[in-house]
Structure 1
Amino acid sequence: MDKNLSIRTVNVTRYITPLREGGSLPALAEADDNFNYVLKFKGAGHGTKALIAELLGGEIARALGLPVPELVFANLDEAFGRTEADEEIQDLLQNSQGLNLALHYLSGAINFDPVVTTVEPKLASQIVWLDAYITNVDRTFRNTNMLLWHKELWLIDHGAALYFHHAFTDPDGHALTPFALIKDHVLLPQASLLEEVDAEYTALLTENIIRQIVNLLPDEWLQWEGVEQTPNEVREIYVQFLLVRLQNSAIFIKQAQNARQALI
């Protein structure tokens, strides 16, 4: 994992259909590499911060060996979407010119159903650890954000993670929070090996890997209204948040273990 990380860039050639799960109106789209993608738009509700969380959460998961669809930068040129009949979608496309983010579309995948499929304790603990680390509020019974594809569990939709950046105040304080919302995690009942996973993952996620992942963020996603920091300074805040949280993983592991004990 010490090799240099990179993300491919594709050009969106065809808008196929909106995917109306959630409020951000992602879409199924085709790119110039002839693959289909689930396209996340920077012009949607939470803007580029949702794309940042999606990229950082997805690539951290990949660095930990968890199955995540390939992420690509998806370029929308200014002419794209002018023929779209739906005004809401046309506005979204026009407001999303430039670099967006897309996940490789897993054709034929089905939503994970915890009633039907039981996840073994090690994998459940790995996913709970990830979501507690990146403060992902969105892997619940109501919205599992996991797919079954070729009998394997795949993680999707990390755009609600790293929610400290919506206020962007006191990132070090946020890094030390126990993340009480882990109590709602769909896999928490099966996550009986959190301490074992914590030892493995804190050794695996080096500062070099974290910096490489954060450095993937493009400048145009980091120029926020009301924020004076340069893109490099914003990247460093993400790096420090992730490092501080990693160095103090015992805080969120204890919270998850206590929440699990209350469930079982």
Structure 2
Amino acid sequence: MSASNSISPLRVVNVTRYVMPLREGGSLPALAEADDGFNYVLKFKGAGQREKALIAELIGGELARRVGFKVPEIVFANLDAAFGNSEGDEEIQDLLKSSQGLNLALHFLSKALTFDPGATQVDEELASRIVWFDAWITNVDRTFRNTNLLIWKRELWLIDHGASLVFHHSWDNWEKHAMSPFPTVKDHVLLPRASALEKADEEMKQIITSELIDEVVQMVPDEWILASRDTETAEETKEVYAAFLKMRLANSQVFLTEAIDARKALI
């Protein structure tokens, strides 16, 4: 498993058609068509956790790709001010209006199947790397109830990282969060298969560099950060994101031990 350290800017597409909502819930992602002719899973800045979900989606998803996991292409998606005027559903129309401007979207994997742990056996080393990665970025949403994994062309793809980086919903004591274990790992859908966590820790710490973290964090649009008004400048916030990830990486033994103990309790 090798990392790609060349961080290219995300493509920007313009949304041309709202096709349909993809599931119920606060975030209301949608299937949408863009001006490049492709379909995307569109994540709205006006939904649920607003811009913070998009920030976590971008940082988590791009880090996952850069360390070698399969992740659908992530793009910036522009919503024109007039978009959605003809939408009949009032809730969706409100969502579209509050999401005008820059949003985030993932390339739609046509005919992909939701990962079923009972039907598909994941390689133990791959499972270990994914569990380690999710514990590192504090992704609480890769459970049996909601795997956020797809099987596409017989390969495992990672989606939906918007529930990562939990600390940014309350910036107080972010250093404490960085040094904390990750108890939610006990619910990870791949934990039963993660028999090589220590090896995953060694491999990931060789792949993930400070430069890689900095480059991915810098991809976050300043306007998304400033919308939350957590800090005076976007750069200040980006420095905290990068510092959190670096501190957590340097002290990975904390969440590694938690994951190993949680797995022992399962088997």
Aligned residue pairs: how many?
264
Q: Deviations over 1:45-96 (max 9, x none)?
A: 1000000110111011011100000000000010000110000000000000
Structure 1 counterpart of 2:113: 110
Aligned-residue offset at 1:229? 2.4
Separation in 1 of the partners of 2:80 and 2:58? 21
- Within the candidate set 65, 68, 89, 2:71 is matched to 68
d(CA) in 1 for partners of 2:36 and 2:228? 34
Partner of 1:180: 183
CA distance in 2, matches of 1:161, 1:195: 22
**1:230 counterpart letter in structure 2:** T
Q: Does residue 165 of the first structure (1) align with residue 150 of the second (2)?
A: no
Q: Measure the CA separation in 2 of the matches of 1:226 and 1:158.
A: 22
Partner of 1:37: 40
Q: Deviations over 1:187-235 (max 9, x none)?
A: 0011011111111111111011100000000011001445232011111
Secondary structure (helix, strand or coil) at the match of 2:215 reads helix
Could you tell me which residue of structure 2 aligns to residue 134 of structure 1? Answer: 137
Alignment correspondent of 1:55: 58
Equivalent position to 1:236, from 205, 228, 239: 239
Alignment correspondent of 2:197: 194
The question of whether the paired residues in 1 share the 8 Å contact of 2:7 and 2:216 is answered with: no
Asked whether the 8 Å contact 1:57–1:158 carries over to 2, the reply is yes
Kept in 2: contact 1:5–1:212 (CA 8 A): no
Aligned to 1:203: 206
Matching residue's letter, 1:185: H
Alignment partner, residue 16 of structure 1: 19
Between the aligned partners of 2:25 and 2:8, the Cα distance in structure 1 is 30
Structure 1 match to 2:6:
3
1:114-167 alpha-carbon deviations (Å, 9 max, x no partner): 111111101100110111001011000000000010111100011111110001
Q: Distance in 1 between matches of 2:132 and 2:119?
A: 23
Residue 80 of structure 1: aligned partner: 83
Q: 1:64 to 1:230 in 2, by over 3 A?
A: same
Aligned to 1:254: 257
State the alpha-carbon separation in 1 of the partners of residues 147 and 6 from structure 2. Answer: 32
**Corresponding position of 2:96:** 93
8 A contact 1:5–1:213 mirrored in 2? no
> CA–CA distance in 2 between the matches of 1:252 and 1:20?
32
- TM-score w.r.t. the length of structure 1 is 0.98
SS in 2 for 1:39: strand
Aligned-pair identity in percent equals 61
Unaligned runs of 5+ in 1: none
Given the alignment of the two structures, is residue 119 of structure 1 paired with residue 91 of structure 2, yes or no?
no
User: 1:177–1:83: structure 2 CA closer, same or farther, 3 Å change rule?
Assistant: same
Question: CA offset at residue 170 of structure 1?
Answer: 1.3
- Structure 2 CA distance, aligned partners of 1:36 and 1:227? 33
TM-score by length of 2: 0.97
Q: Match of 2:257, as an amino acid?
A: K
Equivalent residues of 1:67, 1:153 under 8 A apart: yes
RMSD across aligned positions (CA): 0.9
Instruction: Spell out structure 1 runs of 4+ moving beyond 4 A.
Output: none
Shift, 1:168, TM fit = 1.4
CA 203–21 in structure 1, closer or farther in 2 if over 3 Å, else same: farther
Matched letter for residue 258 of structure 2: Q
